[in-house]
């Protein structure tokens, strides 16, 4: 476990007003907080929760896209999708590592996920029904993720900020790849255009929900802003996403499933309709189309893989006891 | 000669596509995150190799079939992959052991093929060697870990040896097409690779405490398009989009 031997992780800080003020002064001076630094317990807890949820989202996100690898329409698309899903797994790996610097193990985080206690991005509880959904996920879901994640490259916690720099570069590539899938469909046959429009209709609103509840109903926002974990509010990011994405959809000749959507000349932004927050909370609370299936799939992989992990540990132990060169397969 | 080369390239391409398809089924379902990355990565390499081989096969055939026409738009009896490639994954032990067998064989195959009298084959081999070397190492390490891990992993690994054993002989058969072109120095003679392959397998199996497979009773038929019952289901997924929406650009 990466956190072993960390000075700050195991010990309780005395959170005197002086300590808290000195910590806030470091944040205000845009200093990065590093794993060995003293930090308030609540700062640590907030980051463990957020980075853990982020890692879980990457891992659960492999499932809806993985659903199309064996059915991708061409070899080029198949190779790109495999590489993309593999990137998402890689993001999960860096993020779990970043969280481990705060004193939690990947195993503990995984157990939280498969027990259903940990949250992950609700968007992955919707099914990928057609090939166009793979385009829509890249374009809209990764597009929304980028809006959320680019500011995290400047987050006050060093390991998270640094992980996000690489993650954002790859997400930006995925977003363009997704858009290119939809572009190809939009320029294709009637059946392909219909497939693209249908995917946009189904993924648009859940994508807007990815930014979380409206400002004022977001319980962790204020403190996270003070700590510079969060740099923009949910509604600010949502608006940026709408403003960036609507022209992209129009350029494809697709329409957005929102009758209230219109350009606001004075504000220089798109106004959009009311989000169905009942649906949002319903999915967050575990009642979305595939919440149970997603967690069950991760649990199955973890449970059925236990004998493999045990064998790897047992073998490593034998090797270290014999003090022989590990694995002589080459 | 051209017909033989087309057929031999198609066989190799089918091996890589079908095995890549099977490996890709693990994506998101592997025993640990590292394998969720490694197995699709190997699949990606195999599919990349299949693409080069299909493209070249299409050029040799000369009737305008591209990589996708060959990969997606044939009937089951026209696929000529080795039966071992299409077998369902089984557990992690079975998947890893199959991949070790295949990659060990392909490493020997590509090492010879890089000296091919055909420049395109030599170029494909040159790139594939690096990938096959990594695949063989990764899977060989797992064969040892699992063979010499816990009682359960050893039992599962030995069971996988028994399941896969009848499918090994086919690796070393030269079909009509491939024998002809191996004689002209384009592709290696598969039968000559059996001995070095067994030496490689024995070395790993010794460290893994596994029994050496017996190649005497071999299933065959893949090269003639006589497949297992699993193949049609695999193709139903692979071909789903091309069959539902024929002649479209994606």
A141-148: average pLDDT:
96
Alpha-carbon distance A74 to nearest alpha carbon in chain B (angstroms): 6
Residue of B nearest to A304 (CA): B31
Inter-chain contact A85–B71, Cβ cutoff 8 Å?
no
Q: Is A116 exposed, middle or buried (0-12, 13-18, 19+ CB in 10 A)?
A: middle
Q: Is residue A292 scored above 60 in pLDDT?
A: yes
B250:A70 CB<8 A: no
Q: Are A75 and B245 in contact (CB < 8 Å)?
A: no
Quick one: which H or E segment has residue A271? Answer: strand A269-271
Q: Which residue of B has its CA nearest to A185?
A: B250
Tokens 């369902």 locate to B88
Compare all CA atoms of chain A with the CA of B148 and give the residue at the minimum distance: A315
Q: What is the pLDDT of residues A111-130, one digit of tens each?
A: 999 999 999 999 999 999 99
Q: Tens digit of pLDDT for each residue in B46-77? A: 999 999 999 999 999 999 999 999 999 999 99
DSSP state of A157: B
- Chain B residues closer than 8 Å to A55 by CB: none
Exposure string (b/e) for A5-38, b if CB count within 10 Å is 16 or more?
ebebbeeeeeeeeeeeeebeeebeeeebbebeee
What is the Cα–Cα distance from A59 to A45, expressed in whole angstroms? 21
Contact B92 A70 (CB under 8 A): no
- Of B92, B94, B105, B82, the residue nearest B197 (C-alpha): B105
CA B94 centroid distance within chain: 14
Q: Are the beta carbons of A131 and A195 closer than 8 angstroms? A: yes
Structure token digits, residue B151: 């009682």
Counting Cα atoms < 13 Å in the Cβ hemisphere of A103 gives 20
Q: Write the residue in A86, A90, A314 that is nearest to B149 by C-beta.
A: A314
Range A191-198 average pLDDT: 98
Enumerate the residues of chain A whose CB falls inside 8 A of the CB of residue B54.
75
Chain A hits for B24, CB-CB cut-off 8 Å, are 69-70, 78, 82
- The residue with tokens 């700062």 is A43
Whole-number Å distance between alpha carbons of B223 and A224: 62
Report the gap between the CA of A233 and the closest CA in chain B (Å).
32
B242 interaction partners in chain A (CB closer than 8 Å): 73
Range with the poorest average pLDDT among A18-27, A222-231, A291-300, A317-326: A317-326
d(CA A177, CA A172): 9
Give the closest-approach CA distance of A307 to chain B in angstroms. 7
Give the chain A residue nearest B31 (alpha carbons): A305
pLDDT in 10s for each residue of chain B, 250 residues? 688 999 999 999 999 999 999 999 999 999 999 999 999 999 999 999 999 999 999 999 999 999 999 999 999 999 999 999 999 999 999 999 999 999 999 999 999 999 999 999 999 999 999 999 999 999 999 999 999 999 999 999 999 999 999 999 999 999 877 778 888 899 999 999 999 999 999 999 999 999 999 998 999 999 999 999 999 999 999 999 999 999 999 9
Which among A70, A106, A314 has CB closest to B150?
Answer: A314
**Burial (0-12, 13-18, 19+ Cβ within 10 Å), A223:** middle
Segment A263-290 mean pLDDT: 97
pLDDT at B173 (0 to 100): 94
Which residues have CB under 8 Å from B181's CB, separation 6+? Answer: B1, B4, B5, B8, B187
Question: Domain locations in chain B?
Answer: 2-244
- B76 CB burial (10 A radius; 0-12, 13-18, 19+): middle
Instruction: For Cα atoms B136, B138, B141, give the angle at the middle one, nearest 5 degrees.
Output: 100
Is 80 exceeded by the pLDDT of residue A3?
no
Task: Among B27, B33, B48, select the one facing A85 at the smallest CB separation.
Answer: B27
DSSP codes, B151-174: HHHHHHHHHHHHHHGGGTGGGG--
Is A82 an interface residue toward B (CB < 8 Å)?
A: yes
Q: Which of A60, A64, A74 to mutate against chain B (most B CBs within 10 Å)? A: A74
- Residues in chain A closer than 8 A to B31 (CB atoms): 301-302, 304-306, 308-309
Closest CB from B47, B50, B150 relative to A311: B150
Q: Among A59, A106, A327, whose Cβ lies nearest the Cβ of B144? A: A327
pTM (whole model) above 0.90: yes
> Of the candidates A71, A82, A184, which has its C-beta nearest B241's C-beta?
A71
Which of A76-90, A207-221, B21-35 is the least confident region?
A207-221
For A157, list phi and psi in degrees, rounded to 5: -90, 115
Chain A residue with Cα closest to B205: A329
A275 touches A205 (CB < 8 A): yes
B25 Cα to chain A: minimum distance (Å): 7
pLDDT exceeds 90 at position A222: no
Residues of chain B contacting residue A74, judged by C-beta atoms under 8 Å apart:
68, 72, 250
Q: Identify the H or E element spanning B189.
A: none
Neighbours of A200 (CB within 10 A): 24
Q: Check CB contact under 8 Å for B36 and A89.
A: yes
pLDDT, residue A219, reads 67
- The distance from CA A147 to its chain's CA centroid, rounded to whole angstroms, is 11
Q: Would you tell me which residues 97-116 of chain A have a C-beta closer than 8 angstroms to some C-beta of chain B?
A: 106
Please state which of the ranges A1-10, A205-214, B93-102 shows the lowest mean pLDDT.
A1-10
Q: Is A91 left (phi over 0), alpha (psi -120 to 50) or beta?
A: alpha
Query: Are B27 and A66 in contact (CB < 8 Å)?
Result: yes
Q: Chain B contact for A93, CB < 8 A?
A: yes
Q: Which residue of A has its CA nearest to B237?
A: A71
Residue that the structure tokens 């003070």 belong to = A226
Burial of A163 (0-12, 13-18, 19+ CB in 10 A): buried
Question: Which pair of tokens denotes residue A141?
Answer: 């879901």
Residue A9 has pLDDT above 60, yes or no: no
Mean pLDDT of A188-193: 98
Residues 6+ apart with CB under 8 A from B62: B2
Q: Which residues of A touch B149 (CB under 8 A)?
A: 310-312, 314-315
Handedness of CA A118, A122, A126, A128 (dihedral sign): negative
Question: What is d(CA B100, CA B210) in angstroms, rounded to the nearest whole number?
Answer: 14
Select the residue of A82, A309, A327 nearest B44 (Cβ to Cβ).
A82
Architecture of domain B2-244: Up-down Bundle (1.20)
Q: Looking at residue A326, what is its pLDDT? A: 59
Q: How far is B215 from chain A (nearest CA, A)?
A: 22
Q: How far apart are CA B98 and CA B165, in angstroms?
A: 10
* Chain A hits for B25, Cβ within 8 Å: 69-70
């Amino acid at each position: 476990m990466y956190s072993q031997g960390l000075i700050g992780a195991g010990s309780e800080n005395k959170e005197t007003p002086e300590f808290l003020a000195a910590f806030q002064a470091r944040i205000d001076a845009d200093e990065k907080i590093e794993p060995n630094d003293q930090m308030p317990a609540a700062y640590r807890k907030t980051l463990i929760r957020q980075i853990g949820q982020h890692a879980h989202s990457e891992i659960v996100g492999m499932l809806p896209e993985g659903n199309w690898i064996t059915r991708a329409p061409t070899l080029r698309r198949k190779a790109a999708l495999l590489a993309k899903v593999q990137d998402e797994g890689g993001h999960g790996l860096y993020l779990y590592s970043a969280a481990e610097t705060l004193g939690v193990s990947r195993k503990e985080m995984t157990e939280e996920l498969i027990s259903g206690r940990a949250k992950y991005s609700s968007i992955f509880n919707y099914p990928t029904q057609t090939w166009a959904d793979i385009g829509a996920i890249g374009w809209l879901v990764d597009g929304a993720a980028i809006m959320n994640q680019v500011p995290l490259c400047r987050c006050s916690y060093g390991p998270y900020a640094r992980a996000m720099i690489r993650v954002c570069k790859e997400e930006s590539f995925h977003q363009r790849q997704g858009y290119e899938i939809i572009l190809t469909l939009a320029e294709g046959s009637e059946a392909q255009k219909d497939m693209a429009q249908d995917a946009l209709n189904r993924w648009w609103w859940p994508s807007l929900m990815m930014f979380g509840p409206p400002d004022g109903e977001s319980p962790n926002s204020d403190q996270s802003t003070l700590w510079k974990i969060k740099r923009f509010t949910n509604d600010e990011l949502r608006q940026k996403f709408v403003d960036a994405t609507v022209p992209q959809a129009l350029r494809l000749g697709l329409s957005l499933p929102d009758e209230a959507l219109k350009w606001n000349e004075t504000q220089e932004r798109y106004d959009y309709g009311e989000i169905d927050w009942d649906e949002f909370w319903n999915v967050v609370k575990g009642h979305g189309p595939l919440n149970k299936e997603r967690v069950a799939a991760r649990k199955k992989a973890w449970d059925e893989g236990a004998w493999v992990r045990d064998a790897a540990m047992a073998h490593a132990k034998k090797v270290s006891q014999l003090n022989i060169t590990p694995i002589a397969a080459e | 000669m051209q017909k033989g080369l087309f057929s031999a390239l198609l066989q190799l391409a089918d091996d890589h596509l079908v095995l890549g398809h099977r490996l890709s089924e693990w994506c998101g379902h592997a025993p640990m995150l590292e394998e969720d990355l490694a197995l699709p990565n190997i699949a990606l390499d195999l599919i990349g190799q299949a693409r080069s081989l299909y493209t070249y096969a299409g050029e040799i055939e000369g009737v305008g079939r591209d990589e996708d026409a060959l990969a997606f738009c044939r009937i089951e009896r026209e696929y000529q992959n080795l039966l071992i490639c299409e077998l369902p994954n089984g557990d992690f032990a079975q998947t890893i052991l199959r991949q070790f067998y295949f990659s060990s064989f392909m490493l020997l195959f590509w090492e010879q093929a890089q000296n091919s009298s055909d420049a395109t084959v030599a170029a494909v081999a040159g790139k594939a060697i690096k990938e096959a070397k990594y695949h063989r190492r990764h899977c060989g390490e797992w064969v040892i870990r699992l063979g010499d891990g816990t009682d359960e992993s050893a039992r599962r690994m030995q069971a996988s040896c028994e399941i896969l054993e009848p499918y090994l002989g086919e690796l070393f058969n030269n079909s009509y097409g491939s024998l002809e072109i191996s004689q002209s120095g384009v592709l290696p003679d598969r039968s000559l690779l059996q001995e070095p392959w067994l030496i490689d397998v024995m070395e790993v199996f010794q460290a893994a405490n596994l029994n050496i497979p017996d190649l005497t009773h071999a299933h065959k038929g893949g090269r003639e398009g006589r497949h297992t019952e699993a193949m049609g289901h695999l193709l139903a997924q692979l071909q789903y989009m091309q069959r539902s929406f024929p002649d479209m650009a994606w």
